[in-house]
Amino acid sequence: MFRNKVKRLLREGKPTIGTWVTINSIDVIEALSRVGLDWLLFDMEHGSLEINDVQRLLPATNGTDTVPIVRVPWNDFVIIKKVLDVGAYGIMVPWVNTREEAEAVIKAVTYPPQGIRGFGPRRAVYYGLEPNDEYFKGVRDEVMVIVQIETEDAIDNIDEILSVNGINVAFIGPYDLSANLGTFGNFEHPKFKSAIEKVLDSCEKKGVAPGMAALSVNNAVEAIKRGFKFVSIGYDIFDLTRTYRSNVEVVRQALNSILSCKG
């Protein structure tokens, strides 16, 4: 069974970095898994990826120690089961607002008698080529569980949510959280900053790694300095468009300069 480097690093209190994946391309995944990232987060919530796409893309990380994690579209035990069965080594679940919802996530990940996950791991055991019992026993040790903290209710209930055994990361998306706090995009607002501090404090008390979707590379560095341990440093399609737009602007300016000199 694949050993989850990211879980080990987080247990040691070390920061990890990764990026969001929405482009449905084996080439992109294969390239990104070889640039030094600790994890790739395949997005089924806001991205267009479906379960068949995820199963086709995950093998592109083979031969690397980049850990494939999937954000499921909802806290649904059927979707969570399918994602894990095709070989994801972690799940991120949006909109977790209460202890009961956090408990539902853990039950969906965990086999009986503690959980409700049905046994049929398919690619997770390479279609029967690896021992079923090894996966059954090791899944809790190697599969990551990340809950998204993105509402005022989640902030109010943060200690109860992170008291649930098996939660590894409490992840903040700044835009969603600020929107639900009524301060969309205002990351300096006292209400938003207070919520961030409350999550950081709760994570420290409960032994859970705090996570953040950084808005830029500099923002990622600042997040790590503040104590965040699971930090995204990019988003595939946005990075592609920003890079090309920047390159186009440089070339257009050079062309304009050349043409003005000729004129």
Residue 120 has pLDDT above 80, yes or no: yes
CA-based nearest residue to 235, from 67, 80, 32:
32
Q: Residues of the chain with pLDDT > 70: what percent?
A: 99
**Tens digit of pLDDT for each residue in 207-218?**
999 999 999 999
**Tens digit of pLDDT for each residue in 142-180?**
999 999 999 999 999 999 999 999 999 999 999 999 999
Residue 259: the pLDDT is: 86
Confidence band (pLDDT; 50, 70, 90) for 253?
Answer: very high
108 or 259: whose pLDDT is higher? 108
Residue 263 has pLDDT above 70, yes or no: no
| Type of residue found at 137 | K
User: 5-237: which CATH architecture?
Assistant: Alpha-Beta Barrel (3.20)
CA-based nearest residue to 1, from 126, 113, 92:
126
Cβ neighbour number for residue 177 with a 10 Å cutoff: 24
**Tens digit of pLDDT for each residue in 32-81?**
999 999 999 999 999 999 999 999 999 999 999 999 999 999 999 999 99
The residue with tokens 């089924």 is 44
The pLDDT mean for the chain works out to 96
* Residues with catalytic function: 46
